Amino acid sequence: MELQAALPVPHKHLENPYLPMLARIVRIQRMVPDNYLFQLRFADASVADTWDHRPGQFVELSVIGTGEMPISISSSPTRRGILELCVRRVGRVTSALYRLPTNAMVGIRGPYGNGFPVEQMEGNDLLIIAGGLGIAPLRSLLWYALDNREKFGTVTLMYGARTPGDMLFREQVLSLADVDDLSVLLTVDRDPSGTWKHHVGLLPSLFSKVRIDPSRTYAAVVGPPIVYKFVLAELLKLNFHKDRILMSLERRMKCGVGKCGHCSVGYKYTCIHGPVFTYWDAINLPEIV
Amino acid sequence: MKILKIPKANLDLFVSVLPAFGDVYAPVKRGKGYAFDRPLRWFDVQMNYPRTILPPKKFMLPPREATFAFDPAKGFQDLLADAARQLVLFGVHAYDIFGLNILDRVFAQGRYSDPYYVTRRKATTIIGVDFEPDERHFARSMNADFVDSGFDLFLSDIGEEYLVLVGTSRGDDIVVLSSSLLETPTETDFDEYKRRSGLRRAAYRTRLELGDLPEILEMEYHSEVWDEMGERCLSCGSCSMVCPTCYCFDINDEVELGSRAGTRIRSWDSCLFKTHALVAGGENFRSQRASRIKFRYYHKQRGFVAEYGRPSCVGCGRCSEACPARIDIQTVIETIRGERNGTASSVARSA
Whether the predicted pLDDT of A3 surpasses 60: no
Q: What is the ipTM of this complex?
A: 0.89
Q: How far is B349 from chain A (nearest CA, A)?
A: 28
Q: Give the model's pLDDT for residue A144.
A: 97
Which residues touch A10 (CB under 8 Å, ≥6 apart)?
Answer: A17, A109, A110, A111, A112, B112
Q: Give the model's pLDDT for residue A1.
A: 41
A11 pLDDT band, cuts 50/70/90, is low
* Nearest residue in chain B measured CA to CA from A287: B285
Whether the predicted pLDDT of A162 surpasses 80: yes
Please tell me whether residue B161 adopts helix, strand or coil conformation. Answer: strand
A267 pLDDT band, cuts 50/70/90, is confident
Whether residues A16 and B247 touch (CB distance < 8 A) is answered with no
- What separation, in Å, do the N-terminal and C-terminal C-alpha atoms of chain A show? 21
User: What is the mean pLDDT of each successive set of 10 residues along chain B, which is 351 residues long?
Assistant: 95 94 96 95 93 96 95 90 90 97 93 93 96 94 94 97 96 96 96 95 87 88 90 94 96 91 96 89 86 90 87 95 93 86 56 43
Domain boundaries, chain B: 2-60+78-202, 213-347
Whether residues B280 and A18 touch (CB distance < 8 A) is answered with no
Query: What is the per-residue pLDDT across A25-76, written as a single tens digit (0 to 9) for each?
Result: 999 999 998 999 999 999 999 899 899 999 999 999 999 999 999 999 999 9
Task: Please tell me the total number of residues recorded for chain A in this structure.
Answer: 289
Per-residue CA distances from B281 to A189, A221, A261 (Å): 22, 21, 19
A12-112 and A118-248 in the same fold? no
The rounded distance, in Å, linking the Cα atoms of B304 and B298 is 8
Q: Give the model's pLDDT for residue B124.
A: 96
Query: What is the per-residue pLDDT across A67-120, written as a single tens digit (0 to 9) for each?
Result: 999 999 999 999 999 999 999 999 899 999 999 999 999 999 999 999 999 999
Q: Give the model's pLDDT for residue B73.
A: 86
Q: Assign domain A118-248 to its CATH architecture.
A: 3-Layer(aba) Sandwich (3.40)
One-character DSSP codes across B95-143: HHHHHHHHHHHHHTSSSS--HHHHHHHHTEEEEEE-----TT--TTTTT
Domain boundaries, chain A: 12-112, 118-248
Is B281's Cβ below 8 Å from some Cβ in A? yes
Whether residues B250 and A260 touch (CB distance < 8 A) is answered with yes
Task: Give the B window 284-313 contacts with A, CB below 8 Å.
Answer: 285-286, 291, 295, 298-299, 302-303, 306-307
Query: What is the per-residue pLDDT across B116-155, written as a single tens digit (0 to 9) for each?
Result: 999 999 999 999 999 999 999 999 999 999 999 999 999 9
Compare A190 and A15 and report the one with higher pLDDT. Answer: A190
Superfamily of domain A12-112: Translation factors (2.40.30.10)
Which run of H or of E encompasses A93?
helix A92-99
Q: What share of chain A is helix, strand, coil (3-state, %, to 5)?
A: 30, 30, 40
Q: What percent of chain A has pLDDT over 90?
A: 78
- Mean pLDDT score across all residues of chain A: 91
A232 pLDDT band, cuts 50/70/90, is very high
The rounded distance, in Å, linking the Cα atoms of A165 and A195 is 11
Query: What is the per-residue pLDDT across A195-227, written as a single tens digit (0 to 9) for each?
Result: 899 999 999 999 999 999 999 999 999 998 889
Q: How far is B208 from chain A (nearest CA, A)?
A: 22
Q: Give the model's pLDDT for residue B217.
A: 87
Task: Report chain A residues whose CB lies below 8 A from the CB of B226.
Answer: none
Is B107's Cβ below 8 Å from some Cβ in A? yes
Task: Report chain B residues whose CB lies below 8 A from the CB of A266.
Answer: 298, 303
Whether residues A266 and B70 touch (CB distance < 8 A) is answered with no
